Amino acid sequence: VDASPDALAALTRRAAEAGVADRVRATQGDADALAGLVEPATVDLVLCHSVLEVVDEPEPVISALVTALRPGGAASVLVAGRAAAVFGRAMNGQLDAAAALAADPHGTTGRRDTLRRRYDAADASALLTAAGLAVEEIHGVRVLADLLPAAVADGQPAALVELERALAARPPYRDLAAQLHLFARRPA
């Protein structure tokens, strides 16, 4: 489900290229209308990746997602991390933007930011919990990868993956990741 016909066209094209077109249905709609697009309480797993930071309001999206899930069904939610954005701006020399991002209640640099919000692990977890989901795991995605010089990341890819795996679930490293991945369930 996506609001953008272009995004859905890309999905359909890629599904065909991967030979799974018969298993993928692209539906145009707002994320908070998901509950009306599928039978309530029937869905095994919802992936909501890189969406909560761009929608007008995240709460109705999570609420619709919970309504769609069957009891015991799972949600995989990926959101932009706030701390990584502060570090990234600062390391690029954009100290004003880093300060704005750290101070802004939504973790943005202001109106010209491409995202409407960024999350700390606690905020993202609280959002899902408030909607009735039980958060089972939180992982950081790209704890270090975006901070390293390209020569290091490209030169030692296997070592980087190994280090990322070692750090992904461990605060405080996890909480510095570019994205936070939350795995949650609707209680059975």
Give residues in contact with ligand SAM (CB under 6 A).
2-4, 7, 30-31, 49-51, 54-55
- Whole-number Å distance between alpha carbons of 72 and 74: 7
What is each CA distance from 57 to 40, 45, 62, 118, 165, in whole angstroms?
Answer: 21, 22, 10, 13, 32
- Closest contact distance (angstroms) between CB of 44 and ligand SAM is 18
Instruction: Judge whether 150 and 115 are in contact, CB under 8 Å.
Output: no
Taking the complex as a whole, how short is the minimal distance between the CB of residue 157 and ligand SAM, in angstroms? 22
- Nearest distance, CB of residue 51 and ligand SAM, angstroms: 5
When the beta carbons of 51 and 143 are compared against ligand SAM, the nearer one is: 51
Whether 176 contacts 140, CB under 8 Å: yes
CB nearer ligand SAM, residue 50 or residue 92: 50
Strands 43-49 and 69-80 come out as: parallel
- Which residue, 14 or 165, has its beta carbon nearer to ligand SAM? 14
Q: How far apart are CA 122 and CA 110, in angstroms?
A: 22
Closest distance to ligand SAM from the beta carbon of 99 (Å): 26
Residue placing its CB nearer to ligand SAM in the complex, 3 or 21: 3
Supply the minimum distance, in Å, between the C-beta of residue 111 and ligand SAM.
17
Q: For ligand SAM, which is the closer residue by CB, 55 or 160?
A: 55
Q: How far is Cα 98 from Cα 85, in angstroms, rounded to an integer?
A: 7
* DSSP H or E stretch at residue 87: helix 82-91
- Please give the structure tokens belonging to residue 172: 């405080």
